[in-house]
Amino acid sequence: MIKFFRRVRQKLLSENRYNKYILYAIGEIILVVIGILIALSINNWNETRKQRIQEKDYYCKLLEDLNQDVIQIEQHLVANEHRILSSNKLIYLLQQPQPSQAEVILTMRDAVAKTTFTFKPSLAAFEDLKSSGNLGLLTDLDLKNKLIDYYTSIEGYIDVTDIISDKTIDAFFNPEKDFKEIGWQYIPTVFKSIDSNIVDIKALETKNFPTERLRNQLLSDAILYLGTGARKNEIYQIMASEIKEMQKTLINKCDTNYD
């Protein structure tokens, strides 16, 4: 093609047809410009298409993270329901005339079991979006703002549950308690650790369990465990609702076809 244009130019020049040569040269320039513009348009289209595919990929990765969050939040809800059940059982036991000391302490343990296990959202996709500077790839500004608000809210909810857990554990391990009187020695892991060769196990037995003072103290703790469990349950349910709302939005985005 280039050789063809060159021959045409040479022929026009050799025949002294300068006017036609100028018109031809202008036409050739226009063709070159059009070709460049077409090439740029195709390149821009390809780049835009690549960006939209990458955007969809991020939506799908964000959705995968949320799917993991749903599984985790459900696990936390199950564990928290068990703690609430144990708190109610503890109140029931302490309302009995002569509750079993071993049963009381084991139920106390169950009422706070794993309460410090924190919900940790899957942040791989969102952190990648921020650290790579690709947050601008998300063309849906409303969705982008929702994502930012969602992760900010989740962080706030986690802070609240952590505070609740700390208060629960502070009450459980209150140093002012008489742990022998409560019966910590009957917790299986503690009992197994007692060296009967040097420790008089019978001397660790508590008579007249529980005293009225201890009963009231443990009832107060049980109500605290119940209250903190109920509050955590409430927060987990709110979190689950917000996660599912984000899932619905991202499912639509992940299903979008850019091919």
If pLDDT is split at 50, 70 and 90, which confidence band does 5 have? very low
The pLDDT value recorded for residue 31 is: 64
Using one digit for the tens of pLDDT, what is the confidence trace for 49-75?
A: 777 788 888 899 999 999 999 999 999
For 192-212, write each residue's pLDDT tens digit: 999 999 999 889 888 889 999
What the block records as the tokens of 155 is 């962080």
Average pLDDT for the chain: 86
- Picking from 126, 127, 94, the residue whose alpha carbon sits closest to that of residue 111 is 94
Other residues' Cβ atoms within 10 Å of the Cβ of residue 120: 11
Name the residue ranges covered by the structural domains of the chain: 56-254
Place of tokens 């009967």: 196
Q: How many CB atoms lie within 10 A of CB 228?
A: 26
What is the maximum alpha-carbon separation in the chain?
A: 127
